[in-house]
């Protein structure tokens, strides 16, 4: 367990104030909750990310698209401080991912593609464990409220090993949002979910964004879901950002395409032809 997404709920306001003060001091624009500047990541001789720059505004639901191996997870791992870039810089919630990594972690939640939980503990016990690690002052209230928000109270006392993929993923989400982070990262959140699970997840993402004001950065291949949830998109191709804009502008710009899927193929094939 890496502690990502297990920050300090009781001190949330203090952190938010610190984020704002920090932003003022460093001149970081807090309207941009995520700012990536010229990030390159090399694995040995292989360049996974090539001079990537992008920004995500506060309150946005950003869909990060790209073929398998494009570099989406690498980007997320860098922004969540799990991995250092080879060069370049980035801020999340106004904090530098390298020099202020602890502050970044306090201000984010992360649901990786394969949610890491203790199978032999119940959902509630897992959340209690994370809440304690995060020094949440009133873990019971935080857990109860989070489970209620996610409509997961009914399976709170089942062991993780006994949960379906969808239920398990909901507890992973609970772990990531229990401290009400201003920024939430999701890596392929719909992977393996049935249509009902996908719809429930969509509702949760939209409610988190609307009710809590959470900025969401989501790696995904499900373009239908992107069309229904995202306010902006970015397209990565072999480690390079080949497109980014709001969803509304994108739909306007590609008026002749029938669907976001067609738009995606049009953007991607243009890039491959270059
Ligand atoms: P997917 O959609 O399949 O999850 P992705 O867009 O998330 O793909 P990444 O997982 O970021 O892509 O991988 C980008 C590239 O970097 C791939 O070619 C991958 O093989 C390579 N890569 C990722 N992690 C490592 C590593 N630890 N060592 C070497 N190469 C790696």
Residues 6+ apart with CB under 8 A from 198: 190, 222, 225
What are residue 128's phi and psi, to 5 degrees? -60, -40
Residues 6+ apart with CB under 8 A from 239: 41, 47, 48, 49, 50, 52, 70, 71
pTM for the full model? 0.88
Ligand 1 pocket test, pick from 52, 70, 79, 222 with the greatest ligand atom count within 8 Å of Cβ, gives 70
Ligand 1 pocket test, pick from 41, 47, 74 with the greatest ligand atom count within 8 Å of Cβ, gives 74
Would you state the pLDDT for residue 187?
A: 95
Binding-site residues, ligand 1, Cβ < 6 A:
43, 46, 48, 66, 68-74
How far does the centroid of ligand 1 lie from the alpha carbon of residue 73, in Å?
7
What are residue 179's phi and psi, to 5 degrees? -95, 10
Q: Assign domain 12-273 to its CATH architecture.
A: 3-Layer(aba) Sandwich (3.40)
Would you state the pLDDT for residue 136?
A: 86
Protein residue with least CA distance to atom 9, ligand 1: 71
How far does the centroid of ligand 1 lie from the alpha carbon of residue 111, in Å?
17
How far does the centroid of ligand 1 lie from the alpha carbon of residue 238, in Å?
10
The DSSP-derived string for 128-195 is: HHHHHHTT-S-HHHHHHHHHHHTT-GGGTTSBGGGS-HHHHHHHHHHHHHTT--SEEEEESTTTT--H
Q: Tell me if 179 sits within 8 A of 8, measured CB to CB.
A: yes
The minimum-distance atom of ligand 1 relative to the CA of 71 is 11
The minimum-distance atom of ligand 1 relative to the CA of 43 is 29
Q: 96: helix, coil or strand? A: strand
How far does the centroid of ligand 1 lie from the alpha carbon of residue 74, in Å?
6
Would you state the pLDDT for residue 258?
A: 82
**Ranges of each domain in the chain:** 12-273
The minimum-distance atom of ligand 1 relative to the CA of 46 is 30
Protein residue with least CA distance to atom 4, ligand 1: 68
How far apart CA 257 and CA 101 sit, in angstroms, is: 41
How far apart CA 36 and CA 53 sit, in angstroms, is: 5
Ligand 1 pocket test, pick from 52, 67, 73, 188 with the greatest ligand atom count within 8 Å of Cβ, gives 73
How far does the centroid of ligand 1 lie from the alpha carbon of residue 237, in Å?
12
Protein residue with least CA distance to atom 23, ligand 1: 74
Neighbouring CB atoms inside 10 A of 165's CB total: 13
The DSSP-derived string for 104-142 is: HHHTEEEE-SS----TTSBHHHHHHHHHHHTT-S-HHHH
Would you state the pLDDT for residue 30?
A: 57
How far does the centroid of ligand 1 lie from the alpha carbon of residue 201, in Å?
25
Q: Tell me if 124 sits within 8 A of 143, measured CB to CB.
A: yes
Pair of tokens at residue 109: 């939640």
Provide the residue-wise pLDDT of the chain in tens; the chain has 274 residues: 333 333 333 344 444 445 444 544 444 455 899 999 999 999 999 999 999 999 999 999 999 999 999 999 999 999 999 999 999 999 999 999 999 999 999 999 999 988 889 999 999 999 999 988 877 889 999 999 999 999 999 999 999 999 998 899 999 999 999 999 999 999 998 888 889 989 999 999 999 999 999 999 999 988 989 999 999 999 999 999 999 999 999 999 888 888 888 899 888 876 766 6
């Amino acid at each position: 367990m890496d502690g990502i997404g297990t920050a300090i709920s009781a001190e949330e306001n203090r952190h938010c104030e610190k984020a704002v003060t920090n932003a003022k001091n460093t001149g970081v624009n807090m309207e941009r909750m995520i700012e990536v500047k010229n990030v390159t990541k090399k694995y040995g001789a292989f360049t996974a990310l090539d001079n990537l720059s992008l920004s995500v505004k506060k309150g946005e639901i950003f869909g990060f698209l790209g073929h398998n191996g494009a570099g989406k997870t690498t980007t997320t791992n860098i922004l969540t401080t799990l991995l250092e870039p080879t060069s370049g810089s980035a801020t999340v919630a106004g904090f530098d991912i390298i020099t202020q990594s602890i502050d970044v972690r306090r201000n984010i939640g992360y649901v990786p593609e394969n949610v890491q939980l203790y199978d032999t503990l119940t959902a509630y016990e897992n959340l209690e464990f994370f809440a304690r690690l995060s020094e949440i002052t009133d873990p019971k209230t935080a857990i109860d409220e989070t489970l209620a928000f996610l409509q997961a109270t009914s399976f709170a006392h089942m062991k993780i090993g006994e949960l379906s993929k969808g239920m398990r993923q909901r507890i992973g989400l609970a772990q990531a949002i229990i401290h009400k982070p201003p920024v939430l990262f999701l890596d392929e959140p719909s992977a393996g979910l049935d249509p009902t699970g996908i719809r429930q997840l969509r509702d949760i993402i939209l409610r988190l964004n609307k009710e809590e004001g959470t900025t969401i950065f989501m790696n995904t291949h499900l373009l239908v879901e992107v069309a229904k949830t995202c306010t902006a998109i970015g397209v990565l191709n072999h480690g390079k950002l080949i497109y980014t804009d709001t969803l509304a502008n994108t739909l306007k710009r590609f008026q002749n395409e029938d669907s976001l899927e067609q738009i995606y193929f049009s953007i991607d094939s243009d890039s491959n032809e270059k």
